[in-house]
């Protein structure tokens, strides 16, 4: 939905307040705090003249309902005044795909960070390629050096900071300045920080993508994607989403809206517990390095400090060289950490990973086996006990 369509809300100055009040209009719903969930396809028109004139705020369920408007409005309020509209998509991957498709045409070229979420890379290499759009992957640490890769037909640059397995921080404002100087659109997968901790549209991003499946939903029970656009890119994004007929089920939108209300306190706890666990892991003799940009000795820390106001609960560790069997023993011994990929829920997760086969522009050689952790909302001391059990199993399996 666009600025002009928004319901009057009083979202407040601070983000914590906007999270609670954005997209709400109790007067329009008999005083109830939360909006109803509209299960809707057909919209009835009072007269044939209204029908023929497309008169009415809502035209068809696929094209928006009060439920989608409430969620889009609340999200737009978090992105700040540069946000011209928010598109809702059925997953984070659909959000990335739609954002890319809205910015590119046959014959165009796109620059994508080598650290990108792998299914987004697959989309570029398959669907975009079939559409006659070429992709070049670049070193996430390239900074303003991106200018040298921008060709006359480069119409978009995609950043993802930090990488969601490898945690390289990108100099987003420098890359955006170089891209804009050559007329390219800037896209960012901002799922890790979200608008609470990184104001993407204020830092030079035109299309900010989030997997709402992660912290917005927050309870591992919803698939959702969002793209927030500035005025230059909103129209094209909105048209693309409408033309493809992409929409989100009403219950999933409602769960996203409900998740937003507690996002501030949940993220603060994920951040605090994540940092405590990251520091604890960094001090373990089995650990070579912890990849977490909020740690002072992380190579991306200066950029994180400059541009971000917080961190979520997702980070990785590089173990000192040890057998694969020992890594598996570690993971299998964990009781509180589930083995699973989709982070951002209330529960802790751990997965092994290797970026080497996923890279084409850079070499991934971290010096040992890698594990990504998502730190959930359990008590940190219980999580530490769990990890101690894991390390005991790892050491026994060496």
Active centre residues (catalytic): 62, 117, 189, 214
**Count of all residues that appear for the chain in the document:** 398
Q: Which is nearer to ligand PLP, 197 or 391 (CB)?
A: 197
CA-CA distance, 271 to 330, in Å (whole number)? Answer: 24
Q: Which is nearer to ligand PLP, 66 or 120 (CB)?
A: 120
Residue nearest ligand PLP by beta-carbon distance: 92
CA-CA distance, 240 to 104, in Å (whole number)? Answer: 11
Two tokens at 49?
A: 């003249």
Two tokens at 52?
A: 């023929």
Please give the residue ranges that form the binding site for ligand PLP (CB under 6 A): 91-93, 117, 164, 189, 191, 211, 213, 223, 225, 341-342
Instruction: Decide the pairing of beta strands 154-160 and 109-113.
Output: parallel
Cβ(390)–Cβ(334) under 8 Å?
Answer: yes
Two tokens at 391?
A: 């390390």
At a CB cut-off of 8 Å and minimum separation 6, what does 339 contact? 331, 349, 350, 351
Smallest distance, ligand PLP to C-beta of residue 247, A: 15
Cβ(370)–Cβ(353) under 8 Å?
Answer: yes
DSSP string spanning 38-67? Answer: ---S----SSHHHHHTT-SS---GGG--HH
Q: Which is nearer to ligand PLP, 224 or 394 (CB)?
A: 224
Q: Which is nearer to ligand PLP, 216 or 278 (CB)?
A: 216
Smallest distance, ligand PLP to C-beta of residue 96, A: 6
CA-CA distance, 333 to 285, in Å (whole number)? Answer: 18
Instruction: Decide the pairing of beta strands 349-353 and 154-160.
Output: unpaired
In 3-state terms, the chain is what percent helix, strand and coil (to 5)? 40, 15, 40
Distances (CA, A) of 333 to 14, 321, 349, 386, 397: 43, 19, 13, 8, 11
Containing 280, the helix (H) or strand (E) segment is: helix 263-282
CA-CA distance, 135 to 157, in Å (whole number)? Answer: 10
Q: Which is nearer to ligand PLP, 82 or 372 (CB)?
A: 372
């Amino acid at each position: 939905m666009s600025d002009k369509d928004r319901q009057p809300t009083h979202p407040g100055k601070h983000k914590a307040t906007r999270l609670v009040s954005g997209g709400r209009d109790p007067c329009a719903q008999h005083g109830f705090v939360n909006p109803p969930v509209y299960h809707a396809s057909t919209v009835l028109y009072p007269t044939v003249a209204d029908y023929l004139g497309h008169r009415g705020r809502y035209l068809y369920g696929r094209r928006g309902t009060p439920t989608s408007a409430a969620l889009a409005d609340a999200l737009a309020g978090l992105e700040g005044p540069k946000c011209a509209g928010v598109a809702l998509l059925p997953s984070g991957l659909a959000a990335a795909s739609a954002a890319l498709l809205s910015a590119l045409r046959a014959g165009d070229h796109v620059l994508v960070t080598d650290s990108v979420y792998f299914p987004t890379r697959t989309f570029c290499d398959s669907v975009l390629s079939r559409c006659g759009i070429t992709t070049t992957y670049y070193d996430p640490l390239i900074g303003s050096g991106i200018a040298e890769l921008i060709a006359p037909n480069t119409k978009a640059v995609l950043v993802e900071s930090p990488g969601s397995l490898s945690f390289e921080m990108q100099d987003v404002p420098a890359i955006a300045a170089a891209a804009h100087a050559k007329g390219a659109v800037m896209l960012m997968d901002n799922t890790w920080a979200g608008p609470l901790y990184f104001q993407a549209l204020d830092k030079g991003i035109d299309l900010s993508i989030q997997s709402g499946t992660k912290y917005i939903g927050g309870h591992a029970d919803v698939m959702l994607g969002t793209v927030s656009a500035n005025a230059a890119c909103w129209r094209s994004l909105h048209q693309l989403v409408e033309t493809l007929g992409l929409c989100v089920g009403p219950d999933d939108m409602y769960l996203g809206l409900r998740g937003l209300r507690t996002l501030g306190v949940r993220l603060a706890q994920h951040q605090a517990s994540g940092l405590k666990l990251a520091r604890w892991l960094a001090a373990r003799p089995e650990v070579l390095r912890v990849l977490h940009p909020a740690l002072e000795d992380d190579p991306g820390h200066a950029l994180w400090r400059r541009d971000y106001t917080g961190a979520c609960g997702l980070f990785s560790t590089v173990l000192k060289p040890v057998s694969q069997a020992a890594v598996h023993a570690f993971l299998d011994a964990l009781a509180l950490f589930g083995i699973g990929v989709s982070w951002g829920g209330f529960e802790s997760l751990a997965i092994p990973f290797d970026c080497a086969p996923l890279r084409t522009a850079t070499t991934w050689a971290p010096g040992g086996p890698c594990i990504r952790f998502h730190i959930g909302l359990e008590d940190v001391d219980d999580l530490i006990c769990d990890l101690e059990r894991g390390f005991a199993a790892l050491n026994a399996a060496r």
